[in-house]
Each structure stands twice: as C-alpha cells, then as structure tokens.
Amino acid sequence: MAHYDFWDDAIRRSVLFDAKADYILYGMAEKAVLEFAAALRDGQDPCTLRGLCYIAREPRLGYLELPAYETVAQDKAAFIEMFQRFYRNNDPLSARGLYQKHADRYLVQNPPALTETQAELDAIYALDFERRQHPFLRAAG
C-alpha cells in the first residue's frame, strides 16, 4: 500500500509499482511461497493466494477499498485513515482483502496467510538444523 518513506520524507506508492514486479508475498509467507511456486508450475493463476499482492486493472469485488494513493499523498488525515483501516485488517482469521487505486490501476492485497498449525511448526523445528554459529561470525570471534 502507499507508505511513508523516511528517506524521501514523502508518501510513496506501493512497493509493487516501484519494483516493477508482478507479485509480492508478504507476512508469514512460508506456505504462500510453496503455494505460489506450485501455482506457477501448474500454469494456474496465483491471484487468489493468501498473503499475495498484485496489480490489477479493476478492483477486486468484496475487498475493502482504501483511499487512493493520490489522495493520501496529498492529505495527512486521509493517510492516517488509510493506515488505520490497513492496520485493523491484519488478523489472518478475520482480515478481508484490500485494494487501493494508484492512477489507473489497483494494488490488490489478499488476506494474510493463515498461521501454521502445531503439526506444521513441529515439522519445521524437527528439521536437521546445524545449530552452530555462522562461519563468518566464528572467524570474527
């Protein structure tokens, strides 16, 4: 979404527009990365995946609209309103998708990825981690 950039001291448009990328996965994206890769491998449209942002020509039906980038870039009160709507919509269990107009296109943010189950987390932490300090840090000590 539009965001404040400290270095520029300005409201910037979505990172996705500046990166000239097609998609961004955000948040706890461990599962989303695998689902995204599988969708691309299988020739499916990944635009329904949780934790995914993308650019569209039309807003997504049923998603919450945030004030447009052009509005929030010029109006501090509108930026605050936008940020509050965005912030209150981060719970993976209750969040809805969001969209924000940027000129003639829309940044679409799907709801966040669901948190891993206990079994999924146990499987991650059962992996054979090396459990040693990185060699770079060992050499410095």
Chain segment 76-129, per-residue pLDDT in tens: 999 999 999 999 998 999 999 999 999 999 999 999 999 889 998 899 889 888
Beta strands in the chain (DSSP E): 3-5, 10-12, 23-25, 52-56, 64-66, 98-102, 105-109
The average pLDDT across 13-41 equals 92
The overall average pLDDT reported for the chain is 92
pLDDT score recorded for residue 116? 87
Cα 66 → chain centroid: 15
Helix, strand and coil percent figures for the chain, each rounded to 5: 35, 20, 45
The average pLDDT across 1-25 equals 93
Give the number of domains in the chain.
1
Gap between the Cα atoms of 28 and 18, Å rounded = 22
Gap between the Cα atoms of 126 and 34, Å rounded = 19
Which residues constitute the domain of residue 57? 3-140
Asked if pLDDT for residue 10 goes beyond 70, the answer is yes
pLDDT score recorded for residue 134? 82
Per-residue pLDDT band at 28 (split at 50, 70, 90): confident
pLDDT score recorded for residue 58? 96
Asked if pLDDT for residue 49 goes beyond 70, the answer is yes
Asked if pLDDT for residue 140 goes beyond 70, the answer is no
pLDDT score recorded for residue 141? 56
